Amino acid sequence: MSELVTKKELLAKLKSELDSNSLNTYIFSYEAKYGLASRPIFTKTPQPMAIPYSWKYRKVKELLNQVASLLTLEESERRNATMVNPGLKDIVSIATTPTIYSSFQVLKPGDEAIAHRHTVDAFRFVVEAPHEKAYTVVNGVKVNMREGDLILTPDWAWHGHRNEGDSDVYFMTGQNAILIYWIGASFYENYEEVTGSKFEPILYTDREILSYFEGGLVPSGGPFTVRNPLIYYPYERMRKALFSLYEKVKDPQIVVDYVNPIDGGSPLPGMRINMRLIRPKSSTRLMRRTENSVFCTFRGEAKFELPEQKKEFKCEPYDVVVLPSWTQYRIVNDTEEPAILFSYSDEPVFRFLGVFREEQKSG
Ligand SMILES: [Fe+2]
C-alpha cells in the first residue's frame, strides 16, 4: 500500500469523524486534492452551483394551465409555474438563481388573487393581458396590467391581483425570495387575516402615481412610504425610449434601466431591472459579469451564445434564459427585426458587497 493511499485513507476516516461531529476543515472545502472535496468553495474564479438554462414559454404556459385547471385560487393563493434551476433544485425547491425566484403566473377571467404582503421584494412583468380590466392593487394604487408593463410590489407592500377582462393574464414574477429565505428575513401577512377583507380599497390610479413623479413631486405618507413609491413603469414609455435611442445610438444593443426616482438606484434594492433592444443582424460583445441574470425575450427573436459552455439558447417571445454569475455569453439577433429583451439580475447585491466584476471582449 503506497504512502499516498494510506494518507488518503486516514484523511477519509478523519473526514468521516469530522462530518459526524458537524465539523469540516480547510482542505476538504478548498480543493479536490484527495478527492474528498465534493464542491470546493475557495475557487480562483466563480464556480456557481446554478447552471445556465432556458425554458420555452410554450411549455411553461401549457403546464401552468394544467396547474390552474387542477387548483382553484382558494386552494392555491397564487397559481404559477416556477422556473427551477437544475443546479439548485436539491437545495431549494424554487430557486431560479442563488438569490432569485422567478415564475409565470396566470389569472383567468374573473380571477381574484387575494391581497397579501411579504418582506420579499417582487415585480410583475406582464406578457399577455386583455386590453383592459386586469389590474394589481399595490398599497391602494390600482395599476393596470398591459403587455410589457412592469409593476413593483416592494417589501411589505400589500398586493392582490384581479382579472375582470375577457382573456387570460400571464405575467412573469421576479423576487429576491431565495436570498431572503437564506438570510432568515422572510415575514408574510394575509390581508384578510389582518383586516377581515380580502382586498384593500382602491385609493389612487396608476396615472396619478405617474403624474406625481414625472413632475418631480414626491407625496409623503399613504401608499408612498415604500422605498420605491413609483411602482408602475408602463411599456409605452419604455418602448418610446428604446426606439428613440435606436435612431440616435449606433451600438449593437441599447439598454434602458428602470430606476427608483427617489435615489436613482435600482428599482428594488436587490434587483437591477432593465430592457434592451438588440439591433437587427447584430451581436453584443462577448462578456461576463458577477451577477445572476434572468432574460425574457419580449419582442422578436434572440440567441444566447455561451462559447465556454458550448451551449446556445434560441429564444422566441417570452422564452426565458438564466445565466449564473460569471457565465461568458453574447446575445445575437440574426433576424431583420429589432429584438427586445426584458431582464433582471442581483447585480446590486454584488455591488453592495464590493465584489462586482465585469469583463468584455471587443469584436
Ligand atoms: Fe406576493
* Beta-bridge partner residues of 97: none
Over residues 122-142, the mean pLDDT reads 95
* Beta-bridge partner residues of 163: 134
pLDDT at 196: 92
Average pLDDT of the residues of the chain: 92
Ligand 1: centre distance to CA 38 (Å): 36
Over residues 129-143, the mean pLDDT reads 94
C-alpha cell at 43: 475557487
Name the band, by pLDDT with cuts 50, 70 and 90, for residue 177. Answer: very high
Over residues 129-148, the mean pLDDT reads 94
pLDDT at 334: 97
C-alpha cell at 29: 472545502
pLDDT at 341: 98
**pLDDT of 167 strictly over 70:** yes
Ligand 1: centre distance to CA 271 (Å): 16
**pLDDT of 363 strictly over 60:** no
Name the band, by pLDDT with cuts 50, 70 and 90, for residue 285. Answer: very high
Strand duo 112-118 + 188-190: pairing? antiparallel
pLDDT at 180: 97
Ligand 1: centre distance to CA 46 (Å): 31
Ligand 1: centre distance to CA 118 (Å): 6
Name the band, by pLDDT with cuts 50, 70 and 90, for residue 3. Answer: low
Name the band, by pLDDT with cuts 50, 70 and 90, for residue 32. Answer: low
DSSP state letters, 164-215: -SSS-EEEEEEE-HHHHHHHT---EEEHHHHHS-SSPPP-EEHHHHHHHHHT
**pLDDT of 97 strictly over 60:** yes
All structural domains of the chain, each given as residue ranges with its CATH number in brackets, are 1-44 (no CATH), 53-361 (2.60.120.10)
Q: How far apart are CA 177 and CA 140, in angstroms?
A: 23
Ligand 1: centre distance to CA 81 (Å): 14
Q: How far apart are CA 294 and CA 102, in angstroms?
A: 8
When mean pLDDT is compared across 75-84, 165-174, 184-193, 220-229, the lowest value belongs to 220-229
Cell 433576424 identifies what position? 335
Over residues 265-283, the mean pLDDT reads 97
When comparing pLDDT for 28 and 295, which is higher?
A: 295
Percentage of the chain beyond pLDDT 70 is 96
**pLDDT of 1 strictly over 60:** no
Q: How far apart are the first and last CA of the chain?
A: 55
**pLDDT of 307 strictly over 90:** yes
Backbone φ and ψ of 228, nearest 5°: -125, 95
Ligand 1: centre distance to CA 133 (Å): 20
Backbone φ and ψ of 129, nearest 5°: -160, 155
Over residues 298-310, the mean pLDDT reads 97
Over residues 136-144, the mean pLDDT reads 94
Over residues 249-268, the mean pLDDT reads 94
Ligand 1: centre distance to CA 238 (Å): 25
**pLDDT of 317 strictly over 70:** yes
Ligand 1: centre distance to CA 300 (Å): 30
Ligand 1: centre distance to CA 180 (Å): 14
* Residue 156 φ/ψ region, left for φ over 0, alpha for ψ in the -120 to 50 degree band, beta for the rest: left
Ligand 1: centre distance to CA 301 (Å): 30
Ligand 1: centre distance to CA 159 (Å): 7
What is the separation of C-alpha 330 from the centre of its chain, rounded to a whole number of angstroms? 19
pLDDT at 28: 75
Name the band, by pLDDT with cuts 50, 70 and 90, for residue 2. Answer: low
Percentage of the chain beyond pLDDT 90 is 77
pLDDT at 331: 98
Backbone φ and ψ of 331, nearest 5°: -110, 130
Ligand 1: centre distance to CA 50 (Å): 24
Name the band, by pLDDT with cuts 50, 70 and 90, for residue 8. Answer: confident
Name the band, by pLDDT with cuts 50, 70 and 90, for residue 24. Answer: confident
When comparing pLDDT for 215 and 270, which is higher?
A: 270
Cβ atoms 296, 341 nearer than 8 A: yes
Ligand 1: centre distance to CA 192 (Å): 14
Cell 439548485 identifies what position? 88
> pLDDT tens digit string along 223-252?
677 788 889 999 999 999 999 999 999 899
Name the band, by pLDDT with cuts 50, 70 and 90, for residue 4. Answer: low
> pLDDT tens digit string along 42-76?
888 999 999 999 999 999 999 999 999 999 888 88
**Number of other residues whose CB lies within 10 A of the CB of residue 62:** 11
Question: What residue ranges in 239-362 does DSSP mark as E strands?
Answer: 253-257, 272-278, 282-283, 286-289, 293-299, 302-306, 311-315, 320-323, 330-333, 339-345, 358-361
